[in-house]
Chains A and B, each alone.
Chain A
Amino acid sequence: MNPVPYDKNFARKLLFDMLRIRRMEEKCAELYGAQKIRGFLHLYIGEEACAVGALHALAPADNIVATYREHGHALVRGVSMDAIMAEMFGKAAGCSRGRGGSMHLFDAATRFFGGNAIVGGGLPLAVGFGLADKLQKRQAVTAVFFGEGAMAEGAFHESMNLAALWQLPVLFLCENNLYAMGTALGRSEAQTDLCAKAASYAVPTLKADGMDVVAVHEAVKLAAAHVRDGLGPFFLELQTYRFRAHSMFDPELYRDKAEVEEWKTRGPLHTFSARLKAEGKLTEEEFLAFDAKANAEVQAAVDFAEAAPWEPVDELLKDVHTP
């Protein structure tokens, strides 16, 4: 394996962000059991390298459109863990004022546009952002995350076609975790080569190992540069795996435990930390310090969310229309 091509600080930053997501989500699962977090809760555990690698390759002026499995993306993009946790608690201090919950994290300051819980729903939106930027001659990239399941939706095809037809600055980031809820890719798609599908719209494509934060980061840098240079959209497939169930409602009858264990050996956190240690860029003590720091951030976020007030019910009709 090639050495990690980043300086110590940036490499540690990537690791620390993955850790923050992991610890935050482990806490979310616990809080779900304690009924502090309700509704749907889709955990990203196992896939952290995708969000971390990708978002560190994007600029603050870029637009991010994500799915309902977006806690990690929001966090890495810069939404505070306090605001994310409060949102999941349904508190007014949440990043969507408690109106969205786990699936609808939004943040104007970081140009984070959800949090879309209709599979494929964010794709046309991203095309529109690309169009707006192109028409206004802004050099921004719109990065849209979606799962491989969304590629069966008409919205994917319509969006790819529009983006390619109009040469819009949209970066399509497919997080292929092999299962659309419980349906394996091979059981739902005739063409399982996702890049081949995307390429039919005359869009350049690339596959990357979504378990490797370096591979993701490098691929997204390349793809984003293409898009930013006005060369039109780009399709990137990040091959990844979620270690936990689809949502807290999922009994996971559709995949072998052995398969999950096999993928876990490729877990993005421990493989990357092992590499950094091997390269002398991280010590075990430093790792434990990072871990403790992440845990402290999580605990502070939980305390913040717990203490935050509920929005008064008489504000129910707020924010349906722009005042």
Chain B
Amino acid sequence: MKMTYREAVRQAMHEALAADPRVFLMGEDVGKYGGTYACSKGFLEAFGPERIRDTPLSELGFVGAGIGAALGGMRPIVEVMTVNFSLLALDQIVNTAAALRHMSGGQFSVPLVVRMATGAGRQLAAQHSHSLENWYAHVPGIKVLAPATIIDARGMLGPALADPDPVVIFEHALLYNLEGELPDDWRCDIATAAVRRAGTDVSLITYGGSLPKALAAAEQLAAESISAEVIDLRVLRPLDTATLAASLRKTHKAVVVDEGWKSGSLAAEVMACIAEQCFFDLDAPVARVCSEEVPIPYAKHMEEAALPQPGKIVAAVRQVLGK
């Protein structure tokens, strides 16, 4: 069935709400407004205000309340409108959700799902264009997901809710309008990376909103007879390094594409894993295409220049291949 990423997210939540009375959705404008990205349109009418809870602008408060509710036996889906505002809730996610199980000596798990939009590309300027997935991916105790396809948008929520520990899901804002085929069998795991396009000359490793860019670059490279393998990390923590290593054993070259800023990026972590696990398979220095080290500018051309683009990816691949 053809559908948008947004519809896939919506269907996933709808299914979860219908299937399990412990599941409820909480966040800013998830109810009457229908979700900032319209992912919960019609839910308030369908499930009522008890289970579709509009919150005040209190990210710290309602994310913390989600943690408490999870401890109290519920299966909350907390929607933090965007990663930009999640900084206000970082304390609860890092200091409480991620640490609670460990610091209670294994007594309390926190079965919480936090969803948020991420990424730039809509001229929203410095405060509304962050890609801080790697901040979360740094923290033990939580899982971090980045669905980048229709299937993942549809399929990742179920296992995330079934996970006994906190799961943070990043939905790139530019993906909501992405259209694609949802096959009958859309079930998926939340453990492995996926090869989105097979290739032999170079591995393009990416996730989230950069996946379509990497695929576009691979298409362009194919026209130059360069065969790029595109790997979608899908799960940013814990990283599936086995899939990376298998690809590197084949291609011996890698370009990591990450919308986060270069310094201290998730790309840096991926590169470190490659250096640790694939050193003797490397046939060229690993390269990365990240956002430029600048707050994301408003002007369209400047924003485009600051972000990874297919052209930059192609150029990086050529460099790695010595072409």
* A residues lining the B interface (CB < 8 Å): 63, 65, 94-100, 104, 106-108, 113-116, 118, 121, 123-133, 135-136, 142, 154-155, 158-159, 161-162, 165-166, 318-322
Q: Which partner residue on chain A sits nearest B164 by CB separation?
A: A322
A121 to chain B, nearest CB (A): 6
Q: Which of B2-10, B102-110, B151-159, B266-274 contacts A (4 or more CB under 8 A)?
A: B102-110
Report whether A321 and B101 are in contact in the complex, using a CB–CB cutoff of 8 Å: yes
Please state if A121 and B69 are interface contacts (CB–CB under 8 Å). Answer: no
Is A98's CB under 8 angstroms from B105's CB? yes
Given A63-B72, A129-B71, A106:B108 Cβ within 8 A: yes
Q: Shortest distance in angstroms between B105's beta carbon and chain A's nearest beta carbon?
A: 3
Question: Does B60 reach chain A (CB closer than 8 Å)?
Answer: yes
Contacts of A63 in B (CB 8 A): 72
Contact partner of A155 (CB less than 8 A), chosen from B51, B64, B67, B102, is: B64
Residues of A near B53 (CB, < 8 A) are 166
A interface majority secondary structure: mixed
A99 and B67 in contact (CB under 8 A), knowing A108-B107, A132-B72? no
Q: Which of B53, B92, B106 has most chain A Cβ within 10 Å?
A: B106
Q: What is the CA–CA distance of A97 and B106 in the complex, to the nearest angstrom? A: 8
A contact residues around B95 at 8 Å (CB): 118, 121
Smallest beta-carbon distance B175→chain A, Å: 27
Contacts of A125 in B (CB 8 A): 64-65, 67-68, 71, 92, 96
The answer to whether residues A121 and B71 also contact, given A162-B58, A320-B101 and a CB cut-off of 8 A, is: no
The answer to whether A123 and B73 have CB atoms under 8 Å apart is no
Given contacts A95-B105, A97-B106, A321-B165, contact A128 B65 (CB under 8 A): yes
**B residues in contact (CB < 8 Å) with A:** 24, 50-51, 53, 55-56, 58, 60-74, 76, 88, 91-92, 95-96, 100-109, 140-141, 163-165
Contact status A132-B69, CB under 8 Å? yes
Residue of B nearest to A114 (CB): B104
- Among B62, B104, B163, the residue within 8 A (CB) of A100 is B104
B contact residues around A97 at 8 Å (CB): 105-106
Sorted from nearest, which 10 A-B pairs have the closest CB atoms?
Answer: A128-B68, A124-B64, A132-B72, A158-B61, A97-B105, A106-B104, A158-B58, A322-B164, A319-B106, A96-B105
Asked if B65 and A127 make an inter-chain contact with CB atoms under 8 angstroms apart, the answer reads yes
Contact A121 B24 (CB under 8 A): no
Please give, as numbers and ranges, the residues of chain B lying within 8 Å of A128 by CB-CB distance: 64-72, 76
Q: How far is the CB of A315 from chain B (nearest CB, A)?
A: 10
Measured between beta carbons, the chain B residues less than 8 angstroms from A161 are 56, 58, 61
A319 adjacent to B105 (CB under 8 Å): yes
Once A97-B106, A106-B103 are accepted as A-B contacts, the answer to whether A162 and B62 lie under 8 Å apart by CB is: yes
Q: With A and B bound together, what is the CA distance between A133 and B68 in angstroms?
A: 10
The distance in angstroms between the C-alpha atoms of A118 and B71, with both chains bound, is: 18
Chain A residues near B73 (CB, 8 Å)?
132, 136
Of all chain B residues, which has the CB nearest A130? B68
A206 to B100, CA, bound (A): 32
Question: Which of chain A's residues have a CB closer than 8 A to the CB of B91?
Answer: 118, 121, 155
Residues of chain A within 8 A of B106, CB atoms compared: 97, 99, 318-319
Docked complex Cα distance between A154 and B61 (Å) = 8
A154 touches B60 (CB 8 A): yes
30 interchain pairs (CB within 8 A)? A63-B72, A96-B107, A98-B105, A100-B103, A106-B104, A106-B107, A121-B95, A123-B64, A124-B63, A124-B92, A125-B96, A128-B64, A128-B66, A128-B71, A129-B69, A131-B69, A131-B72, A135-B24, A136-B74, A154-B60, A154-B88, A158-B58, A158-B61, A161-B56, A320-B102, A320-B141, A321-B101, A321-B164, A321-B165, A322-B109
**Chain A min CB distance to B189 (Å):** 15
Q: A130-B68, A158-B61, A162-B61 are in contact. Are A113 and B108 (CB under 8 A)?
A: yes
Q: Which residue in chain B gives the minimum CB-CB distance to A134?
A: B50
Chain B neighbourhood of A108, CB < 8 A: 104, 107-108
A115-B64 in contact (CB<8A): no
Contacts of B55 in A (CB 8 A): 162
Cβ contact within 8 Å between A135 and B74:
yes
Q: Nearest B residue to A153 by beta-carbon distance? A: B60
Complex: how many Å from CA A322 to CA B102? 9
